[in-house]
């Protein structure tokens, strides 16, 4: 249950509790809260547990330089750390930080891992049941793994053939496509969730975690089928915030393990990552002729430059770009690569 906000004391006194309370009052997404507090803790430990009130621009510069020069972090990581520290000093402590001078991290452009259609077919052949359905949704709808697992029954709209993604990256809602061919499997999955929910209710459970505002306004919604997770955990667990025993969604490592095994069994010699199916979704849409703006909206990217990375991995063969070597072969079919010559040993 690492995506549920942990409960804070009613009257927080410790520094990190006060900081978390301030972040929640400011409306930061929980993932942002987790990321910011992680880097702020590392910043404080880097400066030998000095209180941030005694630190300033010079110490920020020193830490950012350390990340770039000695930790070889990416430029995005360095920017993220800077944002976290600016929140700490300027918004939480009320200390203005100006004129920072630090070594920018090196900009690396790493292309995303993309599976071909034949590779995806081979991987799916090694998956069964709910795991196969989950991977089909990752690939067929372009979902992130966290978005997939956070889906509730009510987020599947068969009428409009949409999937509603709530509080995605950047704490934004969006809709993406519901693959028509998955409707029977999704309806069966919802029936399974309904049966499990009825069993939980009979056993004295049946409540599910709700966002703070909704749990206060409509507490009864926690027991409704529509709010149950589409991919529930196999076990009842204790909510770390309230202590209530509930059924949360499946843990992300469960799907990760299944994907790793399937990729290996399928003989695909690429990194086994759940996020690669989202990359494949975008790349294959681009190959099919869909425009970047449409793909950007489906993926939920706030900046189209993020979506443009897929133009570097798209299969140009389907776009009419012919390799010069292939053109030689077309002009003279007799031209072929020579057979490899192996020298006999022993």
Tell me whether residue 261 is exposed, middle or buried, using C-beta atoms within 10 angstroms of its C-beta: 0 to 12, 13 to 18, 19 or more. Answer: middle
- 106 is known as an active-site residue: no
- 279 is known as an active-site residue: no
- 301 is known as an active-site residue: yes
- 41 is known as an active-site residue: no
Sign of CA pseudo-dihedral 85, 90, 93, 98: positive
Sign of CA pseudo-dihedral 211, 216, 218, 220: positive
Could you tell me which residues come within 8 angstroms of residue 103 by beta carbon, excluding any fewer than 6 positions away? 64, 65, 68, 69
Own/partner contacts of 201-205, CB < 8 Å, gap of 24 or more, are 205/236, 205/245, 205/246, 205/247
- 169 is known as an active-site residue: yes
Please name the residue that has the structure tokens 């700490």: 88
H helix or E strand, kind and range, residue 163? strand 162-165
- 278 is known as an active-site residue: yes
**Given 20, 144, 174, 197, the catalytic residue:** 144
**Given 20, 152, 248, 278, the catalytic residue:** 278
Q: Up-side HSE of residue 344: CA atoms within 13 Å toward CB?
A: 1
**Given 24, 79, 169, 251, the catalytic residue:** 169
Write out the catalytic residue numbers: 144, 169, 275, 278, 301, 310
């Amino acid at each position: 249950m690492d995506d549920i906000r942990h409960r804070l004391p009613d009257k927080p006194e410790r520094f990190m509790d006060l900081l978390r309370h301030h972040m929640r009052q400011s409306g930061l997404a929980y993932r942002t809260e987790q990321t910011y507090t992680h880097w702020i803790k590392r910043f404080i430990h880097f400066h030998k547990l000095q209180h941030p009130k005694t630190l300033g621009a010079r110490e920020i510069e020193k830490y950012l330089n350390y990340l770039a020069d000695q930790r070889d972090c990416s430029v995005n990581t360095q920017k993220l750390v800077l944002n976290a520290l600016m929140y700490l000093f300027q918004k939480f402590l009320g200390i203005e930080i100006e004129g920072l001078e630090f070594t920018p991290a090196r900009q690396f452009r790493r292309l995303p891992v993309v599976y071909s259609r034949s590779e995806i077919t081979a991987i799916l052949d090694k998956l069964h049941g709910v795991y196969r359905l989950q991977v089909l949704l990752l690939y067929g709808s372009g979902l992130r793994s966290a978005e997939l697992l956070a889906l509730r029954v009510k987020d599947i709209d068969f009428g409009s053939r949409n999937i509603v993604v709530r509080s995605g990256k950047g704490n934004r809602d969006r809709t993406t496509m519901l693959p028509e061919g998955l409707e029977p499997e999704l309806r069966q999955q919802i029936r399974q969730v309904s049966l499990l929910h009825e069993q939980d209710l009979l056993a004295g459970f049946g409540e599910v975690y709700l966002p703070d505002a909704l749990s206060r306004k409509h507490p009864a919604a926690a027991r409704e089928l529509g709010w149950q997770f589409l991919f529930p955990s196999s076990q009842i667990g204790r909510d770390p915030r309230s202590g209530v025993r509930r059924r949360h969604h499946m843990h992300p490592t469960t799907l990760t393990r299944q994907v790793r095994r399937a990729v290996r069994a399928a003989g695909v010699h690429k990194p086994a990552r759940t996020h690669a199916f989202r990359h494949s979704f975008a790349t294959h849409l681009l190959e099919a002729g869909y425009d970047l703006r449409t793909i950007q909206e489906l993926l939920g990217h706030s900046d189209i430059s993020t979506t443009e990375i897929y133009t570097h991995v798209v299969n140009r063969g389907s776009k009419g770009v012919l390799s010069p070597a292939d053109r030689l072969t077309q002009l003279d079919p007799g031209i072929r690569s020579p057979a490899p010559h192996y020298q006999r040993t022993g």
